[in-house]
Amino acid sequence: MSTPDQEYFLRRIRRALNSKPDFSHHGSPLFAHAPSPEELQILDNHRRRTAADRNALLSQLMEAALPIHLCVIPVPDLIAAATAIATLAEAKKPEWSAVKNIIVWRHPLIDLMELKAPLNRLKIPLHRTEPMDPAADPTQDRIEREHLRSAVTASYIGVTSADLCMADTATLVLRNRPGQPRSVALVPSIHIAVITLDQIISDMKELFALLRWDDRFRSEGLSNYMAFISGPSKTADIEATMVHGAHGPREVYLYVVSGK
Amino acid sequence: MPDISPETYVKVAKKGIANPVLQKALAGLQDRFGRGTAEAYRRLPEGPELRFKAHDIREKAIAHLDALLEILAAKIRANGGVVYFAQTAKEAVNYCITVARQNNVHRVVKGKSMVTEEIGLNPALQAAGIEPVETDLGEYIIQLAGEKPSHIIAPAVHKNRHDIADLFVKKTGIRRTTDPSELTQAARKALREKFLSADMGTSGVNIACAETGHITTVSNEGNIRMATTLPRIHIAFMGMERIVARLDEYEILLRLLCRGAAAQTMATYVSYISGPRRPGESDGPDEFHLVILDNGRSRILADPQFKEILYCIRCAACLNVCPVYGKIGGHAYGFAYSGPVGAVVTPLLTGINRAKDLCLGETLCGACMDACPVAIDLPRLLLALREKLAYGDENWQVKPASRMEGLAYKAWSYLIGHRYIYERFLKMAGVGQKLFPRSGTMIRRLPPPLAGWTQSRNFQPLAKETFIEGWRNKKAISNTP
Ligand code: SF4
């Protein structure tokens, strides 16, 4: 499907390019149909990763997280994570209102965490995002969206998981899915992510090799919206002074469930 | 229409040089980022050489630009997005206004984008009765002040905390504070309201990837994520050249972009966007539009001499090392793009004669090329522009900038080709120069048309004897027994 504006536009580009130069000397085709040797190596390393490798990645992640003010906290299990989150929720003050609300993703790992009980004790209401009915009529659709909008703006903490985390740059990778709205990691003042140890990968090269060639990741691809998040929002626009919390979350915590 | 004023380069540059606040800010900026970026390149596992690989990647992408854009457009449409190819700034702006009108949009929150600056989106929206709100903190400050960005990445670098404090008191009515974190908090609060109430968000595009069909946006503040998540409609504006074929190539460019732009290993937020929210998703925009802009780029593409500037990913690394930018600041360049990249792009986009001072003003020291993450040979491009200015060029409608200069060089080449006349000339000049005022042994002021040369420096007078005369005398002395 093309449009007249596109036809005209591309015709001009073709005319400008005139003839295609030969790029065989660059040694890589325009598009690839199979993993390169380097990517095969990366995928192989990914498959063979041992428990020791994983812990090494965790250490690397913690080191990379320090300078960007991302708090990485290894926890033995989900109960410990829930307890830690409740403690944090008790200590922190909401930024935009007097009352505390927490919004969490509908996600297998987060569901298992049982946050409800400890938060109940603190009398902090918990909102869980739900996937919308894809066939909802426009009115229903609007109501549900407004519901999410008001819950997420009322919350001072948003809890999500992530697809993966890159140790090299301390970067969380989140893909969009129904029930896992991106605003939960964006609008509340504090973003908390919970992942398991095996979700840590080495770097962007590994991420892209997985997204390009590994069937588990390939089927979903990058989704319609994939976010990299490396620590809290920051700016240095006023006299180059670093300030955290420009528009996005002011604080980001990452709990890594290590299963030990 | 965008405000384009490269003609005032000399005047604004002089003002910049005389402005102590700007001088201090620019020195600080260059000291930090210039060095930080070089260090960040050195720390790359592949070393600074990776920049040459990135150059190849960009070269290849530009050579296949038609195919890559076609694939990108098809994938975005398949994901429910709308793609519009805008030939001119006006078409791009009108498209945005049409979409805004159709959807009854009153307020637009903007993520920082130099392309929207290039096409003059803000004044056009305002004229159409729609409120544009810049949300990048630096851009927000600039918008409140009614000014123009003076740096691609740090738009408000020319303002210090006292300027900003006064501005915020005047425009937003907050209690006066000069603390950057309190000022940031004030902007955060004001802009949160805007994000939550805007009907449309706009962004630029840092790099798109054809293979996956995504555009990407990069920011540290999170404003672009807000602007592309909360409003009903997202329109992204992309210079047609900002695309690569594959994810593995994208990976290299993103790493270099973060290092070039802010000496970071990774920006806080990188978003990959390929369409509006899908059924079942409860946030994200209902509509996603991608506007791909030519606005003079295909003309650059058609010229093998200048095509290389299309490899640029607008990281601003060249600004952060440029000795000229470091003194005159960004406003002198009179357009969205400043520094070395502006000195090349602005003449090509707005007219070479018109923007001639920009490329004549740079020093050709080559620092920009070493800082550029995609190793663009900026000095070569500047020289090519100067060549056009010297000889004129029909393709680019360039008239020779100075006939006097051409004549002077003709005369000079005649002189040095004729030894006898040359020596007479030197003798005459040697006598004539005694008339000029001196400072020590140096000549302090030359008469027109050479007056410009001594405006800010002294001139070394001609030696008493020429080299050849000196050589002869020396030989004569050493030959006497
Ligand atoms: S020319 Fe190079 S250094 Fe300058 S903005 Fe473009 S990519 Fe960055």
CATH class of B6-298: alpha beta
User: What pLDDT is recorded for position B440?
Assistant: 85
Domain boundaries, chain B: 6-298, 403-478
Q: Measure the CA–CA gap between A139 and B449, rounded to whole angstroms.
A: 76
Question: What is the average pLDDT across A157-185?
Answer: 97
Of residues A259 and B356, which shows the higher confidence score?
B356
Band (B425; pLDDT cuts 50, 70, 90): confident
User: What pLDDT is recorded for position B368?
Assistant: 96
Question: What is the average pLDDT across B122-141?
Answer: 95
Q: Measure the CA–CA gap between A142 and A159, rounded to whole angstroms.
A: 23
* CB B375 less than 6 A from any atom of ligand 1: no
Task: Please say if the pLDDT value at position A62 is more than 90.
Answer: yes
Band (B453; pLDDT cuts 50, 70, 90): confident
Band (B278; pLDDT cuts 50, 70, 90): very high
Across the interface, do A1 and B77 touch by the CB < 8 Å criterion?
Answer: yes
Q: Measure the CA–CA gap between B243 and A142, rounded to whole angstroms.
A: 35
Task: Please say if the pLDDT value at position B410 is more than 80.
Answer: yes
Alpha-carbon distances of B48 from A23, A27, B308, rounded to whole Å? 23, 20, 19
Task: Please say if the pLDDT value at position B379 is more than 60.
Answer: yes
What's the distance, CA A147 to chain centroid? 22
Residue of B nearest to A147 (CA): B282
In chain A, what is the straight-line distance between the N-terminal and C-terminal CA atoms, in Å?
54
How many CB atoms neighbour CB B440 within 10 A? Answer: 7
Of residues B454 and A244, which shows the higher confidence score?
A244
* Tens of pLDDT, residues B359-371: 999 999 999 999 9
Of residues B172 and B379, which shows the higher confidence score?
B379
Across the interface, do B280 and A237 touch by the CB < 8 Å criterion?
Answer: no
Band (B463; pLDDT cuts 50, 70, 90): confident
Q: Measure the CA–CA gap between A182 and A160, rounded to whole angstroms.
A: 9
Task: Please say if the pLDDT value at position A20 is more than 80.
Answer: no
User: What pLDDT is recorded for position A246?
Assistant: 93
Across the interface, do B70 and A149 touch by the CB < 8 Å criterion?
Answer: no
User: What pLDDT is recorded for position A27?
Assistant: 56
Question: What is the average pLDDT across B145-161?
Answer: 90
Give distance in angstroms: CA of B330 to centre of ligand 1: 15
The architecture of the domain spanning A37-257 is 3-Layer(aba) Sandwich (3.40)
Give distance in angstroms: CA of B365 to centre of ligand 1: 15
Q: Which atom of ligand 1 is nearest to the CA of B316?
A: 5
* CB B244 less than 6 A from any atom of ligand 1: no
Domain boundaries, chain A: 37-257
Mean pLDDT across chain B: 93
Q: Measure the CA–CA gap between B217 and B140, rounded to whole angstroms.
A: 18
Q: Which of A17-26, B28-37, B287-296, B447-456 has the highest mean pLDDT?
A: B287-296
What burial letters (b/e) apply to B266-304, b meaning 16+ CB within 10 Å? bbbbbbbbbbbbbebbbbbbebbbbbbbbbbbbbbbbbe
Tell me the pTM.
0.92
Q: Measure the CA–CA gap between B179 and B164, rounded to whole angstroms.
A: 10
Asked if residue B322 lies in contact with residue B377, where contact means CB atoms within 8 angstroms, the answer is: no
Residue nearest ligand 1's atom 8 by CA = B315
Q: Which atom of ligand 1 is nearest to the CA of B337?
A: 5
